[in-house]
């Protein structure tokens, strides 16, 4: 230490003493000797107000003695000295910032243990191997251990469980081959510098460190990044330079906060160099993340995966064992449900089964819809009998009366070509065997009926046929048409995101946002996907509905439970289906329904389950629950118009109650309506609609003036309803008006289609079926119901006419006589109706 130096040191210290300073800077003063020998340094003890002291860049080998009096010291810089070891006990109890870097420390000073207020500690560039002294520093936020001799000792590891505040840790350049275990507990870390070690992989427990905002992995020997890193969505900066990576993984685009990415000096081939550009040329250049996202985006869109997901619908009479089957599919050892646990409405659960190894995915996801078997539900259930699904019809063998024909007709009507497995439950080996007498006939008639399996669900998993049932089910699922078809990979990402979402509902906008996040940016694509998921039973989204279109129901049971709750309500049943808005508030009292009552009501209206009374505010009727008894009413039998809808083999439930909902504002006095009939009144004419289940018919009579207008209104409503049953066979029948029939209450009825066929073949008359078998003029039967004749819509030069008769479209040319049915005009509802009724012939 030169004389000059000594002078300057004492001057600075004395000045600080005079001024009662809080700061003192003695850095780079060449302080070298044994501090006890420096008189001036011992003066430090008078600086009792000192809060900040800089002794860096000197040649101290021990701490100056005077320091121990500086009890208010908050910041102490001792970096760049030669404090090989540090002596004694010191009590810097207020110390918050301590720099001990670059001192050649072999061991941490013992007094570090007591620095309980310490927030920042720099220990870099020493020769430390052990860190035990740090384990009590509960306030520590930032710790620099760069350039030491740390190694991951397998046994002797400090416990850092108390370092809960630590946010920044630098352990770069320590020659670590693996990360030390003590890092595991530091899950609050935001900044972690691991660069310049010898890491070949990252430990799985680093997955928990999801708060990380910056992670420096540069200068290691990583060959690939672990996939779980995609969960570190807080990451803003990621340094990967100087490793052995060949690929940047596509999940990087999920790190939406990432703004700085280094990848210099890696043998990366994917993405190609064109995408990474400068980032491969200079160590200081970062990856252009926008370009990278675009690249991944395109890749994702081009990439397709196969979707393995479908709906299983379990139908059958009450108590047949539907829920039992559902339980056993999910867990073959599950106990059977109790008798009193009859299913309310519909339960939806998922079941997974493993896929063969050659498939893209590991598991097939089945959404099981377990339908309540009580009769009151049947009309409503129909809405959920979807196509492109697998069905199981469960029959209890002890009940001989299961009407297989009706069940199978219903399944065919609503399920399209979906396969159905018939499960004969409770088929005790030694009990009474039951046979389905007409099974061969049923099989012939119903192509959908694929397998018949006899089983005792009670004995599952030991029941003989249980493996057969599983095999059959799996086969049916794997051979569904839509399954295994490639879909954009983005769809899977969205489906995953939605199924992770625990909310019951989200808005359409929120749904679109989820899609955008997963690179489905166009609204039409997003809606196409929601339609698909709606079909799979994953979600409910009635896109086209004015009220419901904005709501994406992520948990279908959220909506279904609410709807069935109304139909099940004792009060509402007792009130013959009448209820008020305030009763709904009581029924839907849970917070999950808050703010959604209008949606749920709309859902019910959408399913044609209820209608509002026009003469009583906030009051509704669920027509399925109306009084069964026919009320007294008068009817004028003079000069009625009649039309009947006949269902030759199967009449679905609820057609009339749904027609009532559609036509509710015409109901006479808003009260002339009962479970199987209604009287409509438009001020000129009255219409009587009756549902005769025994006859498989809806019968319509009109009396009064301008009968045709009201008839057309009724026909329009019914035809629209039938559009929902593409496989339903029905015919429209019109009464004969011959002299023999006219006076009769039960005239002969012609099938409208036969009449039109005859006209098409230039036959203007038809023979009545009642004696004396009069010939009747067809134009007289339907003449004024030919609503309009128009030119062929597709070709203005085509002179042939289009007839619309009771909603059925025909085209014909009177001069040439070649009248053919219109089947290929696509864009009008009435044409579609014509096509439906033409299915009668098929």
Where do contacts with Zn ion occur on this chain (CB under 5 A)?
Answer: 736, 738, 741, 748, 768, 770
- Select the binding partner of residue 320 from Zn ion, Mg ion, ligand GTP, none (C-beta < 5 to 8 A, by kind): ligand GTP
Asked if residue 283 lies in contact with residue 262, where contact means CB atoms within 8 angstroms, the answer is yes
In this chain, which stretch among 89-97, 121-129, 453-461, 630-638 interacts with ligand GTP, using CB under 6 A? 453-461
Bridge partners of 369, per DSSP, are 313, 348
- Select the binding partner of residue 430 from Zn ion, ligand GTP, Mg ion, none (C-beta < 5 to 8 A, by kind): none
Smallest gap from Cβ 394 to ligand GTP, in A, equals 6
Closest CA to 135 of 164, 110, 107, 159: 159
- Asked if 402 touches ligand GTP (CB under 6 A), the answer is no
Smallest gap from Cβ 321 to ligand GTP, in A, equals 4
Collapsing DSSP states into helix, strand and coil, what is residue 278?
A: helix
Asked if residue 322 lies in contact with residue 314, where contact means CB atoms within 8 angstroms, the answer is yes
Binding site for Mg ion (CB under 5 A): 322-323, 343
Q: Which is nearer to ligand GTP, 341 or 590 (CB)?
A: 341
- Asked if 688 touches ligand GTP (CB under 6 A), the answer is no
Q: Which is nearer to ligand GTP, 99 or 561 (CB)?
A: 561
Please enumerate in sequence order all residues whose Cβ is within 8 A of that of 694, keeping only pairs 6 or more positions apart, or say none: none
Q: Which of 425, 472, 505, 830 binds ligand GTP (CB under 6 A)?
A: 425
Smallest gap from Cβ 765 to Mg ion, in A, equals 56
- Asked if 322 touches ligand GTP (CB under 6 A), the answer is yes
Smallest gap from Cβ 344 to Mg ion, in A, equals 9
- Select the binding partner of residue 197 from Zn ion, ligand GTP, Mg ion, none (C-beta < 5 to 8 A, by kind): none
Structure tokens, 643:
């039309």
Buried b / exposed e over 582-606, threshold 16 CB at 10 Å, is ebbeebbeeeebeebeebbbbbbbb
* DSSP type of residue 756: H
Please give the backbone phi and psi of residue 536, each rounded to the nearest 5 degrees, phi first: -75, -10
State the residue for tokens 């049923």. 442
Residue 367's CB is within 10 A of a number of other CB atoms, namely 18
Q: Which residue is nearest to ligand GTP (CB)?
A: 373
What are the angstrom distances between the C-alpha of 668 and each of 130, 604, 617, 680, 685?
92, 23, 17, 5, 11
How many Å apart are CA 349 and CA 578, to the nearest integer?
Answer: 32
Q: Which of residues 362-381 bind ligand GTP (CB under 6 A)?
A: 372-373
Q: Which is nearer to Mg ion, 377 or 810 (CB)?
A: 377
In this chain, which stretch among 192-200, 333-341, 611-619, 830-838 interacts with ligand GTP, using CB under 6 A? 333-341
Please give the backbone phi and psi of residue 156, each rounded to the nearest 5 degrees, phi first: -80, 95
Binding mask 298-317 for ligand GTP (x = CB under 6 A): ------------------x-
Instruction: Report how many residues bind ligand GTP under the rule CB under 6 A.
Output: 23
How many Å apart are CA 256 and CA 180, to the nearest integer?
Answer: 29
- Select the binding partner of residue 738 from Mg ion, ligand GTP, Zn ion, none (C-beta < 5 to 8 A, by kind): Zn ion
Q: Which is nearer to ligand GTP, 339 or 815 (CB)?
A: 339
Asked if residue 298 lies in contact with residue 352, where contact means CB atoms within 8 angstroms, the answer is no
In this chain, which stretch among 63-71, 167-175, 337-345, 378-386 interacts with ligand GTP, using CB under 6 A? 337-345
Smallest gap from Cβ 774 to Zn ion, in A, equals 6
Closest CA to 40 of 16, 56, 72, 71: 16
Please enumerate in sequence order all residues whose Cβ is within 8 A of that of 205, keeping only pairs 6 or more positions apart, or say none: 184
How many Å apart are CA 203 and CA 374, to the nearest integer?
Answer: 55
Please enumerate in sequence order all residues whose Cβ is within 8 A of that of 452, keeping only pairs 6 or more positions apart, or say none: 421, 422, 424, 436, 439
Smallest gap from Cβ 342 to Mg ion, in A, equals 6
- Asked if 567 touches ligand GTP (CB under 6 A), the answer is no
Q: Which is nearer to Zn ion, 36 or 742 (CB)?
A: 742
- Asked if 556 touches ligand GTP (CB under 6 A), the answer is no
Under the rule (CB under 6 A), what is the footprint of ligand GTP?
316, 318-324, 336-339, 341-343, 372-373, 394, 425-426, 456-458
């Amino acid at each position: 230490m030169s004389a000059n130096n000594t002078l300057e040191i004492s001057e600075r210290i004395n000045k600080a003493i005079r001024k009662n300073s809080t700061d003192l800077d003695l850095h780079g003063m060449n302080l070298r000797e044994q501090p006890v020998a420096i008189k001036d340094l011992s003066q430090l003890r008078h600086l009792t107000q000192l809060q900040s002291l800089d002794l860096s860049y000197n040649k101290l080998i021990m701490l100056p003695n005077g320091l121990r009096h500086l009890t208010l010291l908050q910041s102490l810089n001792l970096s760049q000295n030669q404090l090989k070891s540090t002596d004694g006990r010191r009590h810097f109890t207020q110390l918050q910032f301590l720099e001990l870097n670059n001192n050649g420390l072999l061991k941490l000073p013992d007094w570090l243990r007591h620095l309980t207020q310490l927030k920042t500690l720099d220990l870099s560039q020493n020769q430390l191997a052990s860190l035990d002294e740090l384990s009590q520093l509960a306030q520590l936020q930032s710790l620099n251990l760069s350039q030491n001799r740390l190694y991951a000792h397998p046994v002797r590891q400090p416990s850092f469980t108390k370092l809960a505040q630590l946010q920044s840790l630098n352990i770069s350049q320590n020659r670590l081959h693996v990360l030390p275990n003590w890092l595991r507990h530091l899950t609050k870390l935001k900044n972690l510098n691991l660069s310049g070690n010898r890491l070949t992989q990252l430990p799985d427990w680093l997955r928990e460190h999801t708060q990380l905002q910056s992670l420096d992995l540069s200068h290691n020997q990583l060959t690939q990044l672990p996939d779980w890193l995609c969960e570190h969505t807080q990451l803003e900066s990621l340094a990967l330079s100087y490793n052995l990576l060949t690929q940047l993984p596509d999940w990087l685009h999920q790190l939406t906060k990432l703004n700085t990415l280094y990848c210099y000096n890696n043998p990366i081939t994917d993405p190609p160099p064109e995408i990474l550009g400068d980032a491969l040329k200079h160590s200081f250049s970062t990856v252009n993340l926008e370009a990278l996202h675009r690249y991944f985006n395109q890749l994702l869109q081009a990439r397709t995966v196969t979707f393995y997901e479908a709906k299983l619908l379990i139908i059958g009479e009450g108590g047949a064992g539907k829920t039992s089957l559902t339980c056993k599919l999910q867990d073959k050892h599950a106990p059977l449900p109790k008798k009193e646990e009859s299913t309310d409405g519909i339960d939806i659960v998922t079941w997974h089964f493993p896929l063969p190894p050659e498939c893209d995915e590991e598991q097939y996801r089945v959404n099981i819809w377990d339908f309540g078997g009580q009769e009151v539900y049947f009309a409503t259930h129909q809405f959920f009998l979807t196509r492109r699904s697998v069905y199981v019809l469960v029959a209890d063998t002890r009940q001989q009366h299961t009407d297989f024909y009706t069940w199978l007709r219903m399944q065919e009507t609503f399920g399209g070509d979906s396969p159905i497995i018939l499960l004969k439950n409770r088929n005790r080996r030694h009990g009474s065997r039951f046979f389905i007498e007409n099974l061969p006939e049923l099989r012939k008639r119903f192509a959908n009926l694929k397998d018949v399996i006899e089983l005792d669900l009670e004995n599952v998993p030991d029941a003989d046929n249980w493996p057969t049932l599983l095999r059959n089910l799996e086969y049916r699922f794997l051979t569904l048409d839509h399954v295994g078809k490639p879909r954009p990979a983005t769809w899977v990402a969205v489906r995953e995101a939605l199924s992770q979402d625990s909310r019951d509902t989200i808005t359409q906008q929120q749904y679109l946002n989820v899609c955008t996040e997963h690179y489905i940016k166009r609204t039409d694509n997003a809606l196409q996907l929601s339609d698909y998921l709606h079909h799979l039973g994953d979600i409910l989204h009635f896109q086209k509905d004015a009220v419901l279109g904005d709501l994406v129901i992520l948990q279908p049971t959220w909506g279904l439970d609410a709807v069935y709750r109304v139909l099940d309500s004792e009060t509402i049943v007792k009130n013959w289906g009448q209820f008020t808005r305030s009763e709904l508030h009581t029924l839907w009292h849970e917070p999950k329904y808050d703010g959604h009552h209008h949606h749920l009501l709309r859902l019910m209206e959408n399913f044609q389950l209820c209608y509002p009374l026009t003469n009583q505010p906030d009051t509704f009727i669920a027509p399925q629950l109306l009084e069964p008894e026919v009320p007294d009413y008068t009817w004028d039998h003079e000069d009625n118009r009649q039309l009947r809808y006949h269902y030759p083999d199967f009449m679905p439930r609820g057609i009339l109650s749904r027609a009532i909902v559609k036509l509710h504002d015409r109901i006479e006095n808003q009260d002339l309506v009962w479970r199987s009939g209604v009287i409509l009144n438009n001020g000129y004419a009255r219409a009587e609609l009756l549902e005769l289940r025994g006859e498989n018919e809806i019968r319509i009579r009109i009396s009064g003036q301008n009968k045709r207008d009201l008839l057309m209104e009724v026909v329009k409503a019914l035809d629209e309803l039938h559009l929902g049953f593409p496989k339903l066979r029905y015919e429209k029948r019109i009464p004969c008006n011959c002299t023999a029939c006219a006076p009769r209450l039960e005239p002969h009825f012609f099938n409208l289609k036969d009449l039109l066929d005859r006209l098409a073949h230039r036959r203007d008359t038809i023979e009545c079926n009642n004696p004396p078998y009069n010939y009747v003029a067809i134009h007289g039967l339907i003449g004024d119901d030919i609503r309009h004749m128009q030119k062929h819509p597709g070709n203005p030069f085509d002179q042939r006419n289009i007839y619309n008769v009771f909603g059925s479209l025909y085209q014909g040319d009177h001069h040439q006589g070649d009248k053919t049915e219109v089947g290929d005009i696509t864009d009008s509802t009435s044409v579609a109706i014509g096509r439906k009724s033409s299915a009668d012939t098929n």
